[in-house]
């Protein structure tokens, strides 16, 4: 720990926009996916596919495209650069997918109910998102905040219910006869308090 801290203080890892290189094959990969999606839409309009089959095929195409673009980003990244060091060391929360979103494409997003939206975010953070892409990408953040607020309320409600249920229970025997549990003496320090 102390060695890691010492060298972190000597040489910090920084990141500049110049470190994020967009691979030249990114655009042809995305164009190829757009053509594949157009074929799926043509089959859907002709009545050869159901709505669900159309969505599943679109999602599969865009998932594969996101993976191809991520591979291209990885191939063009400087292996000794700071960005690569962060990704391989585990310093980034999302691993390499986070870095792929910086230079490649964000990819598919989920709506608040958890379903994948068939329209991916084809832009990256280096070039910037359109207003529509930004709005789609904020579904996750809004859902996270709402879930946190609801979980807090649920936990408070559960605690209140448990207190309501247990308020009439009185322990009035010195020894209840069970052999399970732990022995606490008067001098023991339990949760910072002497019993």
Q: Tens digit of pLDDT for each residue in 19-39?
A: 888 999 999 999 999 999 999
According to DSSP, the β-strands at 193-194 and 116-121 are unpaired
Once rounded to an integer, what is the mean pLDDT over residues 160-185? Answer: 77
| Burial of 82 (C-beta count, 10 Å sphere; 0-12/13-18/19+) | middle
How far is the CA of 61 from the CAs of 27, 33, 36, 37, 42, in angstroms? 15, 6, 7, 7, 15
- Give the pLDDT confidence score for residue 33 in this predicted structure: 95
Pick the CATH number of 2-147 from 3.30.1490.100, 1.10.10.10, 1.20.140.10, 1.10.132.30: 1.10.132.30
Instruction: Write out pLDDT tens, residues 63-96.
Output: 999 999 999 998 988 888 888 888 777 777 777 8
46 has pLDDT over 90: yes
The tens digit of pLDDT for each residue in 98-111 reads: 888 888 999 898 88
* Residue ranges per structural domain of the chain: 2-147
In this predicted structure, what is the pLDDT of residue 47?
92
d(CA 139, CA 8): 36
């Amino acid at each position: 720990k102390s060695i890691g801290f010492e060298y972190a203080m000597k040489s910090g890892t920084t990141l500049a926009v110049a470190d994020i290189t967009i691979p030249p094959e990114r655009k042809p990969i995305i164009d190829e996916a757009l053509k594949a999606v157009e074929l799926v839409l043509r089959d859907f309009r002709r009545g050869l596919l159901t709505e669900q089959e159309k969505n599943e095929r679109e999602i599969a195409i865009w998932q594969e495209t996101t993976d191809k673009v991520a591979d291209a980003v990885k191939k063009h990244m400087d292996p000794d650069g700071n960005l690569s060091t962060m990704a391989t060391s585990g310093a980034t929360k999302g691993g390499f997918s986070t870095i792929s979103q910086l230079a490649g494409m964000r990819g598919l997003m989920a709506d608040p109910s958890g379903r994948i939206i068939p329209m991916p975010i084809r832009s990256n953070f280096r070039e910037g998102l359109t207003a529509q892409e930004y709005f789609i990408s904020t579904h996750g953040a809004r859902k996270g905040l709402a879930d946190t607020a609801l979980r807090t309320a649920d936990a408070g409600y559960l605690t209140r219910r448990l207190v309501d249920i247990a308020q009439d229970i009185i322990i009035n025997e010195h020894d209840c006869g069970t052999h399970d549990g732990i022995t606490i003496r008067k001098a023991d320090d339990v949760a910072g308090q002497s019993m």
